[in-house]
Structure formats: C-alpha cells, structure tokens
Amino acid sequence: MKEWRGIPRQEIPWFPTIDPEKCTGCKTCMEFCKNDVLTFDGEAEKVLVANPFNCVVECRTCSRLCPSGAISFPAEKDFAAWLQEYRGKS
C-alpha cells in the first residue's frame, strides 16, 4: 500500500509495537499477518517489527490474536487527532 486515503503510507504513524517483555515468541501474529510486517529473532526468540509501513492502516488483528497481549497500536483517539491535524495542514 503506497497511500491510504490519499496520504503517503510512509507518513502514517500506524504500525504495531511489540513489548519484548510480554512476547513469548509463539508466532501467532506472524501466522496471521501475511504483509511481511513482522519477523522472528531466533536468538532472542521474540517477534520484531521489521517492515512497519507494510501494516494495513487501522488493522489491529495481530494484537487481538496475541495471547500474551504483547502487541499494541496507537490509541484510536490519538490516531484520529493525528489524522485531523494532518488533513488540516493540506
């Protein structure tokens, strides 16, 4: 995805954050997400965000599937405020 609603994808602050303390390395998120957003660090046995801008804007499914609650996204109100501010600049 190069754009979302006319906004260049690289400018959109929407991607997962993984808490390494909570990540158990189960790879449930990787099994779901087919967009090459995530990778596995075999040494640490943790999932990492490799390609954040491959993430589908407003998708949170990986975080909902994570059994340990290790994945988070921006709060809806914060993202809505960012979007409103971005549109106000154009």
Lookup: tokens for 39: 């990778």
Q: What whole-number distance in Å separates Cα of residue 43 and Cα of residue 24?
A: 13
Lookup: tokens for 61: 């499914």
Q: Which domain holds residue 57?
A: 3-89
What CATH number should be reported for the domain holding residue 61?
3.30.70.20
Lookup: tokens for 89: 């600049």
Task: Answer whether 48's CB lies under 8 Å from 7's CB.
Answer: no
- For 3-53, how does the pLDDT look when each residue is reduced to its tens digit (9 = 90+)? 999 999 999 999 999 999 999 999 999 999 999 999 999 999 999 999 999
- For 76-88, how does the pLDDT look when each residue is reduced to its tens digit (9 = 90+)? 999 999 999 999 9
* Number of domains forming the structure of the chain: 1
